[in-house]
Amino acid sequence: MSIQSSQKLRKGLFKTRKGLLEKVSAVFSNKQKIEETQLENLEEILIESDMGVETAFKIIEDVKEEYSHKKDKDSKDIIAILKEELINVFPSEKIYPEWENHSQPYVIMVVGVNGTGKTTMIGKLAYHYKNKGKKVLLGCSDTFRAAAAEQLSIWSKRAGADLIKNTSGADPASVAYDAMDAAIARRKDVVIIDTAGRLQNKKGLMEELKKIHRVIGKRMQEAPQEVLLVLDATTGQNGISQAEVFTDTVGVNAIALTKLDGTAKGGIAVAIQKKLSLPIKWVGIGETIDDLVRFKGREFVNGLLGED
């Protein structure tokens, strides 16, 4: 991660870090011997940061185990051990999908519920790949909202990407198919398919997502290579249930977290990775087109608990 990206992530985690680090430091300040009640307090702090009860419990158990092996026990070691345990939650290598077959487009199907910042994330992704020298095409399969095509059109112009859209109310899957056709004909490198915001408990809407996914696969084998779920970090543990349902429906294999700078509960990233083993690929920090950071576990934890 570049210095600039690291600084952006640290800035975006300010609210979470302020609450988490201050509370953790207060629990262990000026105390040489660690007591059970302090570890219980630490567990509560992790839960309050939206890591979840199950995740927080497992992390504290691991902290206890690691701490018990230290010869010269000191309370200041707890934060260092906690940091290492949190870093170990995240994979050390990139496990999210990337290009393998350069003869065909890399297709990203973007899904999520209403209000997560999905369209903004698509604009940022298009801009990111365009800056990497890739030829990008956007497909507007969100035909339920009249404003969806207009919003995506604005982002496509900002990013310098082509756009395929249809009239409001058109079949979303047919738009996805047309986008794939255009991308192949124009020899595009990246195709990003927008979809309508879905409530994960609405069966009919989720079935429509399955149809879009199938149609993309019919037009190009092995596509979409990436199904990116956009989650609003401020929704906390509700994001876990969203991820579970969308994964069951269309095989989510990467996560983008938005609005991380707007919450004091950024621990949701830990819960997602620990419970679902879904790699977090992107973090949206701010509203401008270049406010996009590639997620790195160590940088994220440093942003939560400070540098070593």
248 or 33, higher pLDDT? 248
Higher pLDDT pick, 163 / 10: 163
Residue where a domain stops, chosen among 89, 119, 144: 89
Is pLDDT above 90 for 138? yes
Residues 122 and 233 occupy one common structural domain: yes
Confidence of residue 179 (pLDDT cuts 50, 70, 90): very high
pLDDT of 81 higher than 90: no
Rounded to whole angstroms, the Cα distance separating 51 from 43 reads 10
Q: CATH number of the domain that 69 lies in?
A: 1.20.120.140
Position 5 pLDDT exceeds 70: no
**Number of folded domains that form the chain:** 2
**Please, which pLDDT band fits residue 152 given cuts at 50, 70 and 90?**
very high
- Has residue 94 got a pLDDT over 90? no
Over the chain, what is the mean pLDDT? 84
73 pLDDT tier (thresholds 50, 70, 90)? low
Q: Is the pLDDT of residue 209 over 70?
A: yes
Provide the residue range defining the domain that includes 23. Answer: 3-89
Domain presence at residue 289: no
